[in-house]
Amino acid sequence: MKRLGPILVLLGILSYSSAIQASQTVFQTTSAYHNIKVVDEDGMRYLYFDNTTESRMSLDNPLEGHFEYIEYFHMPWLLGQEIRTVVMLGLGGGSIQKAVEHYYPDVNIITVELDPKVVDVAKEYFHVRPSARHRIVIEDGRIFLRRSQQRFDLIIIDAYTANRYGSYIPYTLVTKEFFELVKQRLNPGGIMAYNVIGSIYGGSEDIVTVMYKTIKTTFKQVYLFPASTSRNVVLIAVDTDEPVDTTQLAKKAESLMAGKDRSYPGLLTRLKNLRTGAPLGTSRARILTDDFAPIDGLLKAE
C-alpha cells in the first residue's frame, strides 16, 4: 500500500495535465467589438466574446451541444402560421441558423451580423455555411430592418453580448420604436422571438420585465420561456387578438413531431416552460423609448 501514494500523485498530475490539454484555444482575434476566442474542450467547441461564452457546439455533431435557450426559438413553429422566411439579428456561433436549416427544409434565412470577424469565425469554426437558403448580411440589425422592403414570417433577435459586469444589449434594439419597426417588417400574424438575459421574478427594474412591458405596447400577445439552466428568457411576441391555448399547443407539437420525417425532437419538453402571464412588477415597469432607454443601469451582473 505504501507504494500506491506516489503512483496516485503521478496519476493526479497526469490527469491534471491532460485536462489542460483538453482545453485548447483554436483561434483568437480582436475585432472592433470584441476579443473573439474559439476554444475546444472535452469534445465541445466554445465561442467566447471578451471571455464570456456566446455559443457552444459539439465537435462530433454541429447540431448538438447548443445552449438550452436556443431550443425555445423552435416555439414560433407551434405558435404561428406557416413560416417561410426568417430574419435573425446576431450570428454568434449560428446555433439557431443550423437548427432552422436542418429541421425546416423549406425555410429561407437572412442573418444580420454587425461584426464581419464574427461571420468569418462562424464560417471557419462553427459550420455556418451561407447558401441560397441562408444569406448573411453585415449590417446593424435596426438599419437592415429599416431599409428592408420585405416582410418576414419570423424575426429572431439574439444580439446580446455579456462581460463580467453583466449583459450588454444595444439600446437601439430594445425601444418601442424598434418593436414598431419589427412589426412593420412582419407578415400579418408574424412572430418576433427575443433572447433576453434576466429573470421573470426580477421585479419592475429587471430587463425582462421592462422589455415585456415595452413589447406589449406594440404586440398584443407576449409569451415568456424562461430557460431552466441559465438566466436566459426567450420572449415571443405575436400581434393576434386570441391568446394561445396551452393544450392546443401540446396537440400541435405532437402532430408536428409525428407528421414530419425531420422535426425538432424537444418541442414538448420545452413547451412546459411557457409562461403566459406578465412578469412580476410589470405594472410599475417603465417603457423604453428611443428618447429614454436607461438600460445600462438595468443590466445587472449575476
Residues in contact with another protein by CB under 8 A are: 32-33, 114, 137-143, 146-149, 170-173, 175, 177, 289-292, 294, 296-297
Min. distance of Cβ 175 from another protein in angstroms?
8
Can you read off the three cell numbers belonging to residue 104? 425546416
Nearer to another protein, 82 or 291 (CB): 291
- Per the CB < 8 A criterion, the answer to whether 205 and 194 are in contact is no
Q: How many CB atoms lie within 10 A of CB 215?
A: 25
Q: For 112, what's the count of Cα atoms within 13 Å in the CB-facing half-sphere? A: 19
Rounded Cα–Cα distance for residues 89 and 112 (Å):
5
Rounded Cα–Cα distance for residues 18 and 139 (Å):
42
Min. distance of Cβ 81 from another protein in angstroms?
26
Nearer to another protein, 101 or 115 (CB): 115
Nearer to another protein, 112 or 200 (CB): 112
Min. distance of Cβ 284 from another protein in angstroms?
17
Strands 134-138 vs 152-157: parallel, antiparallel or unpaired:
unpaired
Beta bridge partners of 137: 112
Which residue intervals of 153-299 are DSSP H helices? Answer: 176-184, 207-216, 246-259, 267-271
Nearer to another protein, 259 or 297 (CB): 297
Nearer to another protein, 130 or 170 (CB): 170
Beta bridge partners of 138: 113
Nearer to another protein, 67 or 171 (CB): 171
Min. distance of Cβ 142 from another protein in angstroms?
6
User: CA torsion, points 280, 284, 290, 291, in degrees to nearest 10?
Assistant: -160
Find where cell 420604436 sits: 177
- Per the CB < 8 A criterion, the answer to whether 50 and 161 are in contact is yes
Nearer to another protein, 79 or 288 (CB): 288
Min. distance of Cβ 70 from another protein in angstroms?
23
Min. distance of Cβ 51 from another protein in angstroms?
19
Min. distance of Cβ 58 from another protein in angstroms?
31
> Measured between alpha carbons, how far is residue 22 from residues 19, 40, 43, 112, 144 in Å?
5, 7, 8, 33, 40
